Amino acid sequence: MSLATASLFIIILIAISAVVSSSELGLASARKIKLQILAKEGDIRALEVLTMQQHPGSFITVVQVALNAVAILAGVIGEAALSPYLFELIGHEAIASVISFILVTSAFVLFADLMPKRLAMSHSEAVALRMVRPMLLLIFIFKPLIWIFDGAADSLFKLMGISTVRQDEMTSEDIYAVMDAGAEAGVLKHHEHHLIENIFEMQERTVTSVMTTREHVVYFDSATSNEQVVNTMIDAPHHKFLVCLEDDLEQIIGYVESRQYLALILKQQQVSLTDQSLLRPALFIPDTLSLFEMLETFKSTGSDFAVIVNEYAMVVGVITLKDVMSIVMGELVTVEEQAIVQRTDNTWLVDGMTPIEDVIRALGIINLPNSENYETISGFMMYMLRKIPKKTDIIEHAGFHFEILDTERLKINQLLVTKLQDEQK
């Protein structure tokens, strides 16, 4: 065989190997989500790729048979064609054979393996869609070989107890990683990324993390006079106020809306907190509900206000639809005073009742120990101190310095959090 003919054969074999190599990587690495989108848009080839990914044994067998056959044939042709010419130049048969082997192998590594696979990695879906039908044709042609080799591989895996089923389940961590990658690439804007992250956080956070705590709940005794009610509504301009018997928050009989109550007062009508036209039944929910479950409860009941009770049937706080949505929308719906105020690049003033999730996010802390045991930064301090906290108590953790600035009775009002410099850690 002449050198020109051998070179032509090698080029053809390199092209075949390049197509097969790129097909293998493209079909294996094509993203399932992208393929599903293309399939919904009507691309039948995307469905064929998805089917092939579910049963990869066939195309892997074809790829390996084709690549090995081409490589062996190229080695035989290349060595037989190049060695005589190199022998004439060098005068040493062994060295000529080694050089011819290196030349052919290098050409295959570069043009038939490295470049096609890098191209397939960069455009995996496009390559997969283009090559799926030629690969299906090869699978049909080599069906007997596939049956033998794929069957043998399946038997050996089964004997060793190894599962080869492709796991495509999408976890919340996978979605977070995709969102982070999208934000870094500029596909997602900062506020869009923040919004999506908040939505997933609703499944993890309980209602107690955003509720108005018991001590801040404004309520009326059923016998409170109209004048006292009006003054309280002016001083504490909430939309809804609980009504209780005997001034006991555990004996809630319902709630009244300030707008409706004040409208009747302005019309100089006789008003009573126990009037059934004013008094609305309260929605009671357990303190173990997640924010997502709370949102579903509001949706199913048509309510936007609920009373939270613990396992001992004690009222621990109240929650509104606005409280839940503040987690999703953040500052877009939260106009109250900020619970976390950054003073300098490395210091923050933090309200003691700030939910621990908000502190972790604002400070960029990866994790806090045993966070299931507390819900606020006050709970964290109490857990770490192992005592009732007092003013000037200090904790250092995760590269941060936590100092209690102000307390009231047994409650932490405010903390100063300082990020430690590298030399201090």
Can you tell me whether residue 18 is helix, strand or coil? Answer: helix
Contact of 316 with 303, CB cutoff 8 Å? no
Q: Tell me which DSSP letter residue 92 carries.
A: -
Q: What is the pLDDT of residues 208-221, one digit of tens each?
A: 888 998 988 999 99
pLDDT tens-digit series, residues 123-138: 888 888 888 888 888 8
Identify the three-state secondary structure at position 145. Answer: helix
User: pLDDT band for position 334 (50/70/90)?
Assistant: very low
Cα separation of 365 and 362, whole Å? Answer: 8
Q: How many helices (H) and strands (E) does the chain have?
A: 16, 12
Distance of CA 74 to the CA centre of its chain: 48
Where residue 159 falls (left for φ over 0; alpha for ψ -120 to 50; beta otherwise) is: alpha
Minimum mean pLDDT among 18-22, 126-130, 333-337: which range? 333-337
For the domain made up of 207-332, give the CATH fold. CBS-domain (3.10.580)
Highest mean pLDDT among 152-156, 188-192, 328-332, 390-394: 390-394
Residue 212: strand pairing partners: 318
**Of all residues in the chain, what percent carry a pLDDT higher than 70?**
86
DSSP 274: T
**CA dist., res. 167 & res. 266, Å (int):** 66
For the chain, the average pLDDT equals 83
Would you tell me how many other CB atoms lie within 10 Å of the CB of residue 241?
21
Assessment of whether the complete model's pTM goes beyond 0.75: no
pLDDT at 93 over 80: no
Q: Which residues pair with 273 in a beta bridge?
A: none
* Of 292 and 100, the one with more pLDDT: 292
Tokens of 360: 């972790």
- For 186-195, the pLDDT digits (tens) are 666 666 666 7
The C-alpha atoms of residue 415 and residue 336 are separated, in whole angstroms, by 19
pLDDT tens track for 277-301: 899 999 999 999 999 899 999 999 9
- Looking at domain 340-424, its CATH class is alpha beta
Residue 70 — very low, low, confident or very high, per pLDDT cuts 50/70/90?
A: confident
333 band by pLDDT with thresholds 50, 70 and 90:
very low
Q: Identify the H or E element spanning 319.
A: strand 315-320
Instruction: Please report, for the chain, the start and end positions of each structural domain, with discontinuous segments joined by +.
Output: 3-160, 172-201, 207-332, 340-424
